[in-house]
Structure 1
Amino acid sequence: MAKLVVFLTLISLLPLLCNSFSDDKPSDRHILVLLDDFAIKSSHSLFFKSLQSRGFDLDFKLADDPKISLQRYGQYLYDGLILFCPTIERFGGSIDAASILDFVDSGHDLIVAADSNASDLIREIATECGVDFDEDPAALVVDHTGYAIAATEGDHTLIAADGFIKSNVLLGSKKIEAPVLFRGIGHSLNPSNSLVLKVLSASPSAYSANPKSKLTSPPSLTGSSISLVSVVQARNNARILISGSISMFSNRFFRSGVQKAGSPTKHDKSGNEQFLTELSKWVFHERGHLKAVNVRHHKVGEVEEPAIYRINDDLEYSVEIYEWSGTSWKPYVADDVQVQFYMMSPYILKTMSTDGKGHFFTSFKVPDVYGVFQFKVEYQRLGYTSLSLSKQIPVRPFRHNEYERFIPAAYPYYGAAFSMMAGFFVFTAVHLYNKPT
């Protein structure tokens, strides 16, 4: 009976073990969505359907559900987290701000959507990610020049934003023609955090203030320094999206036409759906995720990897790099991948050539210094997961029988020695055989 129980347990764990050792994709597809109200599930259904159509399994929960948890028995239950609960003051179950940050620190992805009534809890999570929302709880982003033209004149808090970051890996190769509708709060980036990026910026005429009251002092956030949507890629390659508006994910904003003030062009559909769909592909590693395989090095003319190199050896180094396309691994093409031959500091830094099929390679001569070196590839490019490869190899000097017997630079000394010997021979001969008179 005991053996049967053990056998059934192993069978139940088999799918988990297979997934743990599989390298078919960068992550699994199970995402927890925390909501303020289940009505958001229907009012924002187009965004959720775009994720489900790409193979994601969404688990919808109320943010204050006492049964929710991110992990069980030390194992995380989800691969991503979406917080569409801007008003939540306290999460239910075992979730809190610290557990969400631990979730990100473990390499998982996060989307946070705030609003004008964002709670201190949501603001705290954003601050820990390098984003500071306007401290005024009644503040909204106002733009009297870049607002969206509506049927009724409003307070110009409905913005037609088109300050997109110029990055194909973040927003896709297809240009977003229509502006994005945005109504919400602005935020600034923490200057001490170099990992956070503005993806959608406000226009130079925008400012953050309470639209229902007169300005008595200059706004704390103004112009293009206001970020509407920001992203973070952590050093462990976890990705975070932070938006100051939950409305921009809604079906109404997805389907609405848009015309920016001062522009004669009226678009039948806003750019929200394209913008957020493409950005969510990046956040959940469907684009810009790299992996490196088949790291190899050997002497020129050989194929086997040696255990040690000798100074002045000619060697070749190669690596294969692929990018996840959302469905399969594709060869990565770039001209800025470099390798270092490193001991305390780089002795050699070489940009590798590529065949356009994911294979990067170069060759160089081992420096005339012996010790323990490393082959290092530290690749960091905007929007892509970072690659950090290192391989240690010792370098030895020449053995006593490997030095050249006659060094060209020493020919003058050889000549001096032999001329001295010849002179001594002549002097001896003359002295021995010359009779004195």
Structure 2
Amino acid sequence: MAAPRHHHLALAVALALLVVTAAAADEGGPRGRRVLVLVDDLAVRSSHSAFFASLQGRGFDLDFRLADDPKLSLHRYGQYLYDGLVLFAPSTPPSSSPPSSSSPPLPNPTRNKTSPRREISQQWRRRATTTSPSPSPSPSSVVTAAAADEGGPRGRRVLVLVDDLAVRSSHSAFFASLQGRGFDLDFRLADDPKLSLHRYGQYLYDGLVLFAPSTPRFGGSVDQNSILEFIDAGHDMILAADSSASDLIRGIATECGVDFDEDPEAMVIDHINYAATDAEGDHTLIAGDDLIQSDVILGSKKIEAPVLFRGIGHAVNPSNSLVLKVLSASPSAYSANPKSKLASPPSLTGSAISLVSVMQARNNARVLISGSLDLFSNRFLKSGVQKAGSKIRHEKAGNEQFVTETSKWVFHERGHLKAVNVKHNKVGETNEPGMYRINDDLEYSVEIYEWSGTSWKPYVADDVQVQFYMMSPYVLKTLSTDKKGVFSTSFKVPDVYGVFQFKVEYQRLGYTGLSLSKQIPVRPYRHNEYERFITSAYPYYAASFSTMGAFFIFSFVYLYHK
């Protein structure tokens, strides 16, 4: 009877191969394809292990689930989560759910808002489909659809890397704040061997929270370069370190424009502006209140209570305009080993020490770097605070408001601008010409909107300028706004012909940059477009006619006068 069993196994393998090969053909092979395995008893996983091992050996990613799992779903946000199905649940009774639940949900016509991240995802998908179109969605395309359909950050996938899963509970208040604002957090150990940021050429996540300061190396395909490429692709990151920061974490921070203290044992110490609860300690628990003055980054509501900080400091290159100090140390602070006496002057002192910094890259990707992991902890978020020497005690430190507002900025819930409907035309006309003539009167307008966290709102400012540019600006005009998002101006085309550009280069603290450019040629007058008589040439006309008249008189006198 051994032979028939072998024949049955071979037949099952062949049938499974036929079912999934066609679906996997466009992906370049079956490796990595997701297959859902439904069973009515998990014992089937071991009793049929040879068949499952055959599938896994050919590169399939099997997801074993009980057929009556209440959280079971084949699709999400209108796209299927799996590429294949193995149904080994013969005794499962019919589902009591309505028949319509088996089909993907219809798109909601009210979801017509566009988020900053939706635009990036759509551009990336269009770029990807021009090179390697695929009829079946991969898990990464499911993530993209999730971010697009919600009209904002809701549904955004954020990877949270920790070096100990206990951080998930010790920092649960911060994570709950992110989830409450609609982020989908994926908690993973930093050394997970299956760790990956992208799949099939598309990123699986839109943001990264790196709470693994002591990790010497990441697992899977993640390393320092892949994280920097993640940022270069326009994604955002929150990085928190502490006194145990590894060379890997320090290297990532350095690439983002900040340098942690080179002494691995150093911490920020302040013998004046420390928390009163640390009076008998080494004064490393700092109550900081030197915050950046920016409503865009920290919100419109002022942070009244000091922010508790215990960790390492870093320096910011003052010539680097992309990096900003959000929370700075006081002039009395310094960075040193609190367990030993100072043998030499510390390298970081006073307000030059940054406790928390942010960086906005030229591609508008945002990064927050904190020298304290405890800054985000439940203990610091819920703790009261009183600065040493002060009689004012705050029932709650400013940490919760601080990390909430800064994370809103980092993940583009605030301070993101978009420009649409760039128009230019001659005064009195509506159609955009293909060419202007020197000295034409023209109008230029653009609509600028700001993401408020829930919808696009008209952006109001008085410092948006447009350049009419050829090698250098010939015209520089400030745009006026109707406070409904439309910025406009009018000016006369300069008396110079060539190929010009309408340029808007807008950079403002805390906001994403706008770089708009539109090329337009400018021609001189045609020969039949000049005035018949030029006013400025009247003296020359008079000189010509007077010369002819004088010559006529002279000739007449010379010929007929004796």
TM-score norm. by structure 1 comes to: 0.94
Q: Find the counterpart in structure 2 of residue 329 from structure 1.
A: 456
Residues of 1 paired with 2:295 and 2:144: CA distance? 35
Give the whole-Å Cα distance in 2 for the aligned partners of 1:326 and 1:229: 23
Say whether 1:202 aligns with 2:322.
Answer: no
What residue is the counterpart of 2:267 in the other structure? 140
Deviations 1:72-127 (A, max 9, x none): 01110000001000000010111000100000001000110000111111001001
- Determine the C-alpha separation between the residues in 1 that align with 2:213 and 2:426: 59
Superposition deviation, residue 10 in structure 1? 3.6
What corresponds to 1:85 in structure 2? 212
* Secondary structure class of the residue paired with 1:378: strand
1:286 aligned partner: 413
Look up the match of 1:362: 489
Query: How far apart, CA to CA, are the structure 2 residues paired with 1:152 and 1:35?
Result: 31
CA contact under 8 A between 1:338 and 1:377: conserved in structure 2? Answer: yes
For residues 122 and 11 of structure 1, do their structure 2 counterparts lie closer, same or farther at Cα, with a shift above 3 Å needed?
Answer: closer
User: Root-mean-square deviation (CA), in Å?
Assistant: 2.3
Which residue, 309, 320, 326 being the options, matches 2:447?
A: 320
1:375 maps to 2:502: yes
| Cα pair distance change 1:17/1:399, threshold 3 Å | farther
Q: Say whether residues 1:301 and 2:433 are aligned partners.
A: no
Opposite residue 495 of structure 2, the aligned amino acid is D
Name the SS of the counterpart of 1:204 in structure 2. coil
Task: Give the residue type in structure 2 aligned to 1:96.
Answer: D
Deviations 1:200-237 (Å, cap 9, x if unpaired)? 00000000011111111111110000000000000000
Judge conservation of contact 1:26–1:324 (CA < 8 Å) in 2.
no
Alignment of 1:103 with 2:103, yes or no, is no
| 8 Å contact from structure 2 (residues 478, 489) kept in 1 | yes
Other-structure match for 2:386: 259
**Structure 2 SS opposite 1:296:** strand
Q: Relative to 1, partners in 2 of residues 1:158 and 1:23: Cα closer, same or farther, differing over 3 Å?
A: closer
- In the alignment, what sits opposite 2:5? none
Shift of 1:262: 1.9
| Matches of 1:382 and 1:375, distance apart in 2 | 23
Unaligned runs of 5+ in 1: none
Partner of 2:180: 53
Superposed displacement of residue 286, structure 1: 0.4
5 Å-filtered alignment, 1:125-136, equals 125-136=252-263
CA gap of 1:233–1:10, structure 2 versus 1, over 3 A, is same
**Which of 236, 258, 266 matches 2:363?**
236
CA contact (8 A) 2:153 2:182 kept: no
Q: Does 1:124 align with 2:251?
A: yes
Cα distance change, pair 418–245 in 1 and its aligned pair in 2 (3 A): same
Q: Cα 1:385–1:151, aligned 2, differ >3 Å: closer, same or farther?
A: closer
Output the CA distance in 1 between the equivalents of 2:143 and 2:240.
32
Displacement of 1:424 in angstroms is 3.4
Alpha-carbon distance, 1:190 to partner = 2.9
- Amino acid in structure 1 at the alignment position of 2:449: Y
The farther-off stretch of 294-303 and 411-420 is 411-420
* C-alpha distance 151-296 of structure 1, shift in aligned 2 (>3 A): closer
User: 2:349 matched to 1:222?
Assistant: yes
Aligned twin of 2:203 = 76
The alpha-carbon distance between structure 1 residues 112 and 325, as it changes in their structure 2 partners (threshold 3 A), is: same
Kept after mapping to 2: 8 A contact 1:187/1:244? yes
| Deviation at residue 429 of structure 1 after TM alignment | 4.8
**Could you tell me how far 1:339 is from its partner in structure 2?**
0.5
The one-letter code sitting in structure 1 at the alignment partner of 2:163 is: D
Deviation, structure 1 residue 264: 1.4
Q: 1:123 to 1:151 in 2, by over 3 A?
A: closer
Residue 150 of structure 1 aligns to a residue in which SS? helix
Q: Verify the 8 A CA contact 1:27 1:79 in the aligned structure 2.
A: no
Matched residues, number: 434
Structure 2: gaps spanning 5 or more residues: 1-18, 27-79, 84-133
Q: Shift of residue 12 of structure 1?
A: 4.2
- Does the 8 A contact of 1:162 with 1:180 survive in 2? yes
Q: CA deviation at 1:431?
A: 5.5
Aligned residue identity for 2:192: D
The yes-or-no answer on 1:94 pairing with 2:260 is: no
Question: Would the alpha carbon gap of residues 107 and 400 (structure 1) be closer, same or farther in structure 2, given more than 3 Å must change?
Answer: same
Q: What is the one-letter code of the residue matched to 1:119?
A: S
Which residue number in structure 1 is paired with residue 400 of structure 2? Answer: 273
Greater RCO, CA 8 A, separation 6+ = 1
Distance apart, 1:24 and its partner CA: 4.4
1:357 is paired with a residue of what secondary structure?
coil
% same residue: 74
Q: Answer yes or no: is 1:154 the counterpart of 2:244.
A: no
2-side partners of 1:288 and 1:435: how far apart?
92
Q: Could you say which residue in structure 2 is the equivalent of 1:399?
A: 526
